[in-house]
């Protein structure tokens, strides 16, 4: 079954990229709607919001640039969350990282960050 399926895909040149995007988009939107309904019925905001995200991603699939930008936004948000969690462990981390000389290299910055990390555990991080 799998071999014949892959042959069909190769013959159809991936079954047309646009057709595949439409197929995945429809599935994501359908799953998202189901989750939104489930979340509304159970009064579970997290499930409902997850459904909304799936609908959003299903809609973004029509434009590769939109997918790229959304991915960049997700990466920025993730980086912010990591920094917030580090800030909880090391107060004023952002200001400590941003305090740099004009001539400081990336290697110097990394050494400074590692020294800060060393303060979290034993001094063996240098």
What's the token pair of residue 46?
A: 């997290």
Does the pTM exceed 0.75? no
- Three-class secondary structure of residue 110 per DSSP: helix
Whole-Å CA distances, 65 to 37, 53, 54, 70, 74: 30, 18, 18, 9, 14
Q: How many CA atoms lie within 13 A of 110 on its CB side?
A: 3
Chain segment 24-76, per-residue pLDDT in tens: 999 999 999 999 999 999 999 999 999 999 999 999 988 889 999 999 999 99
Phi, psi torsion values for 8, nearest 5 degrees: -65, -40
Chain segment 73-94, per-residue pLDDT in tens: 999 998 888 878 877 877 777 6
């Amino acid at each position: 079954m799998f071999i014949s399926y892959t042959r069909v895909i190769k013959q159809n040149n991936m079954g047309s990229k646009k057709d595949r995007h439409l197929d995945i988009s429809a599935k994501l939107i359908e799953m998202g709607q189901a989750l939104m309904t489930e979340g509304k019925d159970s009064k579970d905001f997290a499930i409902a919001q997850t459904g909304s995200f799936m609908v959003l991603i299903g809609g973004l699939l029509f434009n590769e640039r939109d997918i790229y930008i959304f991915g960049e936004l997700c990466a920025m948000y993730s980086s912010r969350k990591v920094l917030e969690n580090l800030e909880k462990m090391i107060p004023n981390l952002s200001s400590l990282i941003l305090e740099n000389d004009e001539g400081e290299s990336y290697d110097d910055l990394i050494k400074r960050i590692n020294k800060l990390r060393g303060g979290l555990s034993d001094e063996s991080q240098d």
